[in-house]
């Protein structure tokens, strides 16, 4: 077998059979991602788009608006499905919330992995990164308003 074929096979084994596509990271304190709102987007528009983005990827359990800091919240239900695949012994959910000044969204992804006896807490870097990227494009710095 040539070197290219061997390298390709090794990468395939790591991606498909190794850590898995959701990359569970065990942690008692999952990290968050921050998405600053584009200056041209109103808060109501940003909130509505954030709900739409989360609901395209995950089943939304809670979407509540509030006037006080911390009351704008979008949270998905726990799920084991991501990008059309269902994972055994693994579940996760996402949460999106405005920060105190309501100009930045805070994104968090909690995950749990079952070892046959106990659920272990952590987070998924894939889910967190995907939501962060989607939000950046839709309402963050990468947002481009349609002319007209």
In the block, tokens 């839709």 appear at: 138
DSSP the chain: --HHHHHHHHHHHIIIIIS-TT-EEE-SS--EEEEEPPTTS-HHHHHHHHHHHHHHHS-EEEEE--SSTT--EEEEPPBSEETTEE-TTEEEEEEEEE-TTSSEEEEEEEEEEE-SS-EEEEEEHHHHHHHHHHHHHHHSTT--PPP-
Domains (ranges, CATH) in the chain? Answer: 22-139 (3.30.530)
Cα four-point dihedral sign 72, 76, 82, 87:
positive
List Cβ neighbours of 128 (8 Å cut-off, separation of 6 or more): 31, 33, 94, 107, 108, 109
| pLDDT digits 0-9 by tens, 71-128 | 689 999 999 999 889 999 999 999 999 988 888 999 999 999 999 999 999 999 999 9
Structure tokens belonging to residue 62: 């809670």
Asked whether residue 9 carries a pLDDT value surpassing 70, the answer given is: no
And the tokens for 42? 């109103």
For residues 2 and 117, the model is more confident at 117
* Residue with the two structure tokens 């959701």: 22
Tens of pLDDT along 37-84?
A: 998 888 889 999 999 999 999 999 999 887 665 668 999 999 999 988
Lowest mean pLDDT segment, chosen from 23-27, 29-33, 39-43, 105-109: 23-27
């Amino acid at each position: 077998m040539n070197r290219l074929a061997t390298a390709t096979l090794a990468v395939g084994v790591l991606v498909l059979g190794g850590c898995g596509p959701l990359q569970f990271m065990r942690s008692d304190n999952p990290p968050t991602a921050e998405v600053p709102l584009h200056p041209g987007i109103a808060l109501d528009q940003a909130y509505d788009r954030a709900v739409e983005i989360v609901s395209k990827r995950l089943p939304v359990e809670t979407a509540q608006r509030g006037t006080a800091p911390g009351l704008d919240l979008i949270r998905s239900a726990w799920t084991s499905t991501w990008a059309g695949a269902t994972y055994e012994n693994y579940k996760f959910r996402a949460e999106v919330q405005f920060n105190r000044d309501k100009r930045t969204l805070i994104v968090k992804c909690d995950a749990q992995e079952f070892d046959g006896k106990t659920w272990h807490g952590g987070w998924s870097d894939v889910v967190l990164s995907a939501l962060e990227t989607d939000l950046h494009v839709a309402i963050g710095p990468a947002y481009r308003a349609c002319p007209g």
